[in-house]
Structure 1
Amino acid sequence: MVIIRIVRMTFLPEKISEFQSIFEKCQNDIKQMPGCLHLELWRDLDNPNIFVTHSHWETEEYLNTYKNTEFFGLIWKRTKALFADKPLAFSVEKVS
């Protein structure tokens, strides 16, 4: 079963370019993580301060292993400092 991970983040307007730079620099490393099958960054059409990461993982164990890496810890710390609001993160599975 593939795990689909959605993370919705609202950024301070003046921090958007900094977030985009962080994502641009680390996206290939994330895609190379064991178990990562897919990664995209989306932007809300109605609120340009909102971005969503959409990723697919082979299993929940691979996702959790990634979230426990030093790499993730550093990226998440830098990203959290740019937030205007609390993020929303959840995992789902495709039903049909």
Structure 2
Amino acid sequence: MHFNQMYIADFKQSFVLLKPQIEAFKGCTEVNLFQDKANPAIFFTISKWENEEHLENYRHSALFKETWAVVKPNFVQRAEAWSLSLL
């Protein structure tokens, strides 16, 4: 996620509050936030889910929709997401 510089501090504060709620969501085993060292306006979240169904349930939840409604307008460019498999 690449944010407007003015939103960085707010996003970090929001994530601290949201992390326990996301991790409490059924099927979530871990969620972490990473900030790019070269460009502090770029962030990555990495979350681990028991299965794809739990992730999809989260993506359709009120928590996700409410959070996304606040976060999305602060993007400098479109966010990207990937689902990965550990090899």
The TM-score by the shorter chain falls in which range?
over 0.9
Q: Which has the higher strand share?
A: 1
TM-superposed CA distance for 1:20, in Å, is 1.1
4+ residue runs of structure 1 moved beyond 2 angstroms? Answer: none
RMSD: 0.7
Query: Are 1:23 and 2:15 matched, yes or no?
Result: yes
Q: Distance in 2 between matches of 1:60 and 1:81?
A: 27
The answer on whether the counterparts of 1:19 and 1:82 sit within 8 Å (CA) in structure 2 is no
Higher relative contact order (CA 8 A, sep 6+): 1
By percentage of residues, which structure has more helix? 2
Q: Percent identity?
A: 32
Alpha-carbon separation, structure 1, partners of 2:18 and 2:31 = 11
How does 1:1-96 map onto structure 2 within 5 Å?
9-95=1-87
| One-letter identity of the residue aligned with 1:32 | A
Aligned length: 87
Compare 20-29 and 54-63 and name the one that shifted more. Answer: 20-29
Q: Which runs of 5+ in 1 are unaligned?
A: 1-8
